[in-house]
């Protein structure tokens, strides 16, 4: 039995434990899906090939039974997706080289929505994490950090969500949405040894970034990222378990992601 399956088994058989004054019952709870549907309207980077899903066969075939099959195509980076280090690190690992235990782990959710909704170019700072820790406790080592900017509420309004409806380089120049400050990314790596970082915007870097330094910082240290994460308003601040399952694309710099969290009963 591999390590990450053993961890999941331990969680669901752990029963109830008192953690920081709260009774957490890991064997009771619910799964929450943090994944956006992939469809024609799914948000992609203005320079990327968007998602398509076309019918190859649908209906009763010549043998008298129903059969369906579809053809899908898209660039790796769009919708709820996973970023591998290769995305911005020349010698970084591709999707299939990432170890199974890196896809699962204890999660925390840092809510900066009040600040981010007031400033669409907001950069999440080290001070935001320090402030979170003063209220919620220290970020655990090897945690998966989910960042709630509140931007997920705009998903069905692409103009508000990204700042533009234009494609190509012109569209890239008009992108405006919050992201993670590179210095804060480095702090999460050096001071808290996190495993992955996810965010409810199109990019872990803010929309107006020209150097993508947050991506480069994370990936040069083998920390992976999730983008366009859904439903973070329903995720507690801590004491939940993350399962990130990207498509295993050999040589891939990223992949569509099915992102789930187990939220135990409190």
Residues in CB range of 78: below 8 A, 6 or more apart: 42, 43, 44, 45, 48, 50, 51, 228
Q: pLDDT confidence of 26, banded at 50, 70, 90?
A: confident
Residue 127, helix vs strand vs coil: helix
Residue 226 in any domain: the answer is: yes
27 and 15 Cβ atoms separated by less than 8 Å? yes
User: Minimum mean pLDDT among 10-19, 49-58, 244-253: which range?
Assistant: 10-19
- Residue 81 clears pLDDT 80, i.e. is over it: yes
Residue 176 in any domain: the answer is: yes
Residue 68 in any domain: the answer is: no
Closest Cα partner for 46 from 132, 197, 159?
A: 159
The per-residue pLDDT for 36 is: 98
Cβ density class 80-106: b for 16+ within 10 Å, e for less: bbbbbbbbbbeebbbbeebeeebbbbb
Separation of alpha carbons 4 and 6, rounded Å: 5
119 and 82 Cβ atoms separated by less than 8 Å? no
Could you tell me the residue range of the domain that residue 90 belongs to?
A: 31-47+76-265
Residue 62 in any domain: the answer is: no
pTM of the model: 0.91
Cite the DSSP H helix spans in 181-251. Answer: 182-192, 213-220
CA distances from 151 to 27, 54, 112 (A): 32, 30, 10
Separation of alpha carbons 159 and 172, rounded Å: 13
Residue 205 in any domain: the answer is: yes
22 or 13: which leads in pLDDT: 22
Residue 59 in any domain: the answer is: no
Once rounded to an integer, what is the mean pLDDT over residues 90-115? 97
In degrees to the nearest 10, what's the CA dihedral of 19, 186, 120, 34? -50
Q: Residue 234, Cβ neighbours under 10 Å: how many? A: 13
Closest Cα partner for 92 from 186, 248, 223, 198?
A: 223
CA atoms within 13 A on the CB side of 97: 15
Residue 258 in any domain: the answer is: yes
Closest Cα partner for 94 from 260, 258, 246, 198?
A: 246
Burial class (CB in 10 A: 0-12, 13-18, 19+), 167: middle
The per-residue pLDDT for 1 is: 45
Q: Residue 258, Cβ neighbours under 10 Å: how many? A: 14
Paired sense of beta strands 66-73 and 104-111, if any: unpaired
Is residue 260 within a helix (H) or strand (E), and if so which, with residue range? strand 254-265
- Residue 93 clears pLDDT 80, i.e. is over it: yes
Instruction: Tell me the CATH number at 157.
Output: 3.50.30.50
Residue 6 in any domain: the answer is: no
Q: pLDDT confidence of 266, banded at 50, 70, 90?
A: confident
Domain count, the chain: 1
Q: Residue 25, Cβ neighbours under 10 Å: how many? A: 13
């Amino acid at each position: 039995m591999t390590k990450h399956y053993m961890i999941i088994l331990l969680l669901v058989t752990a029963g109830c434990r008192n953690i920081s004054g709260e009774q957490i019952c890991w064997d009771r709870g619910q799964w929450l899906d943090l994944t956006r549907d992939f469809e024609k309207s799914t948000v992609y980077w203005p320079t990327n090939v968007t998602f398509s899903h076309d019918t190859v066969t649908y209906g009763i075939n010549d043998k008298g039974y129903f059969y369906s099959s579809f053809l899908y195509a898209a660039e790796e980076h769009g919708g709820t997706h996973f970023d591998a280090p290769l995305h911005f690190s020349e010698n970084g690992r591709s999707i299939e080289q990432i170890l199974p235990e890196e896809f699962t782990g204890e999660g925390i959710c840092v809510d900066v929505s009040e600040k981010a909704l007031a400033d669409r170019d907001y950069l999440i700072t080290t001070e935001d994490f320090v402030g979170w820790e003063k209220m919620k406790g220290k970020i655990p080592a090897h945690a998966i950090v989910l960042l709630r900017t509140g931007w997920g509420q705009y998903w069905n309004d692409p103009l508000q969500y990204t700042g533009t409806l234009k494609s190509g380089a012109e569209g890239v120049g008009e992108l405006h949405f919050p992201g993670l400050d590179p210095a804060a990314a480095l702090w999460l790596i050096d001071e808290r040894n996190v495993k992955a970082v996810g965010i409810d915007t199109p990019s872990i870097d803010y929309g107006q970034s020209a150097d993508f330094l947050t991506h480069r910082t994370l990936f040069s240290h083998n920390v992976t990222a999730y983008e366009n994460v859904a439903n973070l308003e329903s995720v507690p601040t801590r004491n939940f378990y993350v399962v990130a399952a990207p498509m295993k694309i050999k040589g891939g710099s990223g992949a569509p992601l099915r992102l789930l969290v187990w939220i135990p009963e409190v």
